Amino acid sequence: MSAPTIHEPPAGVADRNRWFLSSAPIVRSLIHLCVPMAAAMLVGAVYNLINAGIVGSLHITVLLAAITLGSPILGLVMAVGNVFGVGGGALVSRLLGAAERDETAAADIKRVSAFSFWGAVLTGAAIGAVGLIFLDPIVTMLGASGEAVPATRAFVGVLLAFVPVLAAAVCLEQLVRAEGAARQVMIGLIASTIMNLLLDVLFILVLHWGVAGAALATGLANLVLVLYFSFWLTRHSKNASLAPRWFTLAPAVVKPVLGVGVSTLLQSAFLIVTALVLNNLAAGYGDGPLAAMGVAVRIAQVPEFLLMGVTLGVLPLLAYSYGKGDGNRLSGALRTSAIAVGGIALISAAVICCSVIKCSKPSSPTRPS
């Protein structure tokens, strides 16, 4: 059998994913990495709309308002997971690229992956515990008042109990993607979304657990996602490990992981503050406008998540090329992905503007016969 050429990916899962990072044509690599991520993110955005529809089918406005008010908590969880996931994933991809020049670099991947995973779990557990202790002040800070307080308290309380699981799921998603396994990440995210939707129907419409059921469905679906990603890394990754014995606080691991991850925390902090301000302002107009704003935000997330799929998908390729020292591949990936992101943004903006203009036109009066 002849050795694979640049146009023939290897047969093995791990080797095939590595090929897309190392030597596949740029456009083909971006399709492999970004299309599955964009599809998974798009499915997640559609789920948010369906979830709002399921809760809205109960015709209780305060329940939709509670989910809108609790959205900053989900943002906080993603921020915690991404501190370790984005930082650890970027370092893993860099080390994979550096291993093509220095094989000793691969040995550090076990320590990086273990630190990222357990760091997310432990930090998430600490935040969840503190949040449950100060649950009532947090609900007030989120902007809940009147009839929305009990529902918001139930929703946020269940979410806080699952913070370690949610943070671990976000972190593992980044670690699996760091090895170029975008298709496997897509499978896990879509399967988790479908399970979340089925549990929503069971807990909300059948068992009538309200928004607490919605939060429980999210937590359990992400627990399955953690198990799936952990199984995949254990079975298919040649370098990563989640075993506690590889956990370390060595500066050579902690500093680069947190150095990259903290930037995502700052970005998420601005988004959380923005959501808090908008929620508190909208709450002053009542539960109806607050619930409507939550639905509108979910609609806007469709093009936003599509763009996030492209930008997140290309990150492993950029980090791998940087670690390998392949400047041409790095600049090519940056240029091609920037064109893709710009094109999607322009098309999405044009569609939304045309829709707004069409909806804002007054209907022509009908003439009496």
Give one DSSP letter per residue of 293-328, joined into a string: HHHHHHHHHHHHHHHHHHHHHHHHHHHHHHHHT-HH
In a domain, 10, yes or no: no
Whether the pLDDT of residue 292 is over 70: the answer is no
- Quote the number of domains for the chain: 1
In a domain, 12, yes or no: no
Listed as own residue / partner, the contacts of 227-236 with beta carbons closer than 8 Å and 24 or more positions apart are 228/188, 228/191, 228/192, 229/169, 229/172, 229/173, 229/175, 229/176, 229/188, 230/172, 232/176, 232/181, 232/184, 232/188, 233/113, 233/172, 233/175, 233/176, 236/13, 236/14, 236/181, 236/184
Range 310-320 average pLDDT: 83
| Residue 346: exposure state from Cβ atoms within 10 A (0-12, 13-18, ≥19) | exposed
pTM of the predicted protein model:
0.80
Residues 6+ apart with CB under 8 A from 195: 220, 221, 224
- pLDDT of 164: 94
**Residues 130, 209: Cα–Cα separation, whole Å:** 25
Question: pLDDT for 168-200, tens place per residue?
Answer: 998 998 899 888 888 888 888 888 888 988 998
Residue 110 has which token pair? Answer: 């076990």
**Residues 162, 214: Cα–Cα separation, whole Å:** 12
In a domain, 1, yes or no: no
Range 12-17 average pLDDT: 69
| End-to-end CA separation in angstroms for the chain | 81
Residue 230 has which token pair? Answer: 């952990």
Residues 6+ apart with CB under 8 A from 301: 45, 48
Inter-axis angle of helices 182-200 and 26-56, to 10 degrees?
10
In a domain, 360, yes or no: no
| Residue 270: exposure state from Cβ atoms within 10 A (0-12, 13-18, ≥19) | exposed
List the Cα angle 275/280/285 in 5-degree steps.
125
Q: What is the mean pLDDT of the chain?
A: 81
Domain range for residue 224?
23-353
Longest dimension (CA), the chain: 86
**Residues 144, 322: Cα–Cα separation, whole Å:** 46
Whether the pLDDT of residue 4 is over 50: the answer is no
DSSP notation for 81-104: HHHHHHHHHHHHHHHHHHTTT-GG
**Residues 113, 282: Cα–Cα separation, whole Å:** 41
In a domain, 78, yes or no: yes
In a domain, 149, yes or no: yes
Question: pLDDT for 321-345, tens place per residue?
Answer: 888 888 888 898 889 888 988 888 8
**Residues 127, 245: Cα–Cα separation, whole Å:** 24
Whether the pLDDT of residue 1 is over 50: the answer is no
Closest CA to 211 of 261, 271, 299, 149: 149
pLDDT interval class at 33 (50, 70, 90): confident
In a domain, 18, yes or no: no
pLDDT interval class at 227 (50, 70, 90): very high
**Residues 270, 72: Cα–Cα separation, whole Å:** 11
pLDDT interval class at 244 (50, 70, 90): very high
In a domain, 4, yes or no: no
Range 139-145 average pLDDT: 83
- pLDDT of 145: 78
Lowest model confidence (mean pLDDT) among 59-73, 82-96, 141-155: 59-73
